[in-house]
Amino acid sequence: MNTSNFLIANAEKCTIKDQQFIIAGPCSFSSYEELYEIALELKKLGVEYLRAGCFKPRTSPYSFQGLADEGIEYLIKIKQLTGLKIVTELMDWEQVQKYKDDIDVIQIGSRNMYNYDLLSKLGTVSNTILLKRGFSATIEEWLSAAEYIAKNGNQNIILCERGIRGFDTETRNVLDLQAVAVVKKLCALPVIVDPSHASGRADIIEPMSLAAMISGADGLEIEAHTNPKISPSDANQTITIDELNSLLTKLKSYNFI
Ligand code: PEP
Ligand code: MN
């Protein structure tokens, strides 16, 4: 792929270049107390960005769909109380207009990566956009999606590799670390890795996180919970706060963060 005519190749107006993003928190949550407890623990570990899904694009319409607007209100309250920056997925323009002033980083999920109308509109807001790779998107499709945002005026985009569909059922997806190395050559935007959705399993988050950083990632988005068993979604891939603590210690010992 040739990105020489793309704004994201140099991303001159991107103000988050060379920053690191360690983002952690539950996939979703079912009460204020649950999220507040997690947030306090993350704060103790020095994590700067709290992720928590409120509008959940679940495969089954019968699975828990997130606390929606009520959840966003809790997230905003916890941001005010803790000073943590908040990252959450928004699925349409109406939600973006409603919450853009309170949310620090707007996550666009894998399923919405091809929503060109939404991407174009995200070019008009000043929030940082975390653009996840579609689970069957080529690198070219992923970077083109980012260019839709950039072309419309917003170059503060974090690209997130979250695994692509493979054939093996031992893991949820295949973590494409080659994409991280390649994308770092093709554009100037920060690139992070989500080992949680890539692997679907809590027991390999640590090695995949280390591998991501050595591949050139500018950070990680990790699902973590004080009690993963009660997480209303993605419990199997969610690590404990203790596991996150030991991962962060290891990342520091390798000078990755
Ligand atoms: C998530 O981060 O919880 C999520 C749904 O991610 P993705 O869009 O990558 O599946
Ligand atoms: Mn999840």
CA of 116 to the centre of ligand 2 (A): 23
Spatial contact of 37 and 224, defined as CB atoms under 8 Å apart: no
Provide the whole-model pTM. Answer: 0.98
Q: Report whether residue 112 contacts ligand 1, using a CB cutoff of 6 Å.
A: no
Mutate to test the pocket of ligand 1, among 194, 199, 221, 231 (most ligand atoms within 8 A of CB): 194
Q: Report whether residue 132 contacts ligand 1, using a CB cutoff of 6 Å.
A: yes
CA of 29 to the centre of ligand 1 (A): 14
Could you give the CA distance from residue 66 to residue 82 in angstroms, rounded to a whole number?
A: 22
Q: Report whether residue 237 contacts ligand 1, using a CB cutoff of 6 Å.
A: no
CA of 98 to the centre of ligand 1 (A): 21
Please give the chain's pLDDT, 257 residues, in tens: 999 999 999 999 999 998 999 999 999 999 999 999 999 999 999 999 999 999 999 999 999 999 999 999 999 999 999 999 999 999 999 999 999 999 999 999 999 999 999 999 999 999 999 999 999 999 999 999 999 999 999 999 999 999 999 999 999 999 999 999 999 999 999 999 999 999 999 999 999 999 999 999 999 999 999 999 999 999 999 999 999 999 999 999 999 99
| Ligand approaching nearest to the C-alpha of 131 | 1
Name the E strands within the chain.
21-25, 49-51, 85-89, 105-108, 128-132, 157-161, 191-193, 219-225, 239-240
Q: Report whether residue 192 contacts ligand 1, using a CB cutoff of 6 Å.
A: no
CA of 234 to the centre of ligand 1 (A): 10
* Ligand 1 closest atom vs CA 163: 9
Spatial contact of 207 and 214, defined as CB atoms under 8 Å apart: no
Ligand 1, atom 5, residue with closest C-alpha: 109
Q: Report whether residue 133 contacts ligand 1, using a CB cutoff of 6 Å.
A: no
CA of 142 to the centre of ligand 1 (A): 15
What does the pLDDT read at residue 255? 97
CA of 147 to the centre of ligand 2 (A): 25
Could you give the CA distance from residue 191 to residue 212 in angstroms, rounded to a whole number?
A: 10
Could you give the CA distance from residue 218 to residue 220 in angstroms, rounded to a whole number?
A: 7
Token pair, residue 125, equals 């807001």
* Ligand 1 closest atom vs CA 233: 3
Token pair, residue 122, equals 């995200």
What does the pLDDT read at residue 18? 85
What does the pLDDT read at residue 123? 98
What does the pLDDT read at residue 22? 98
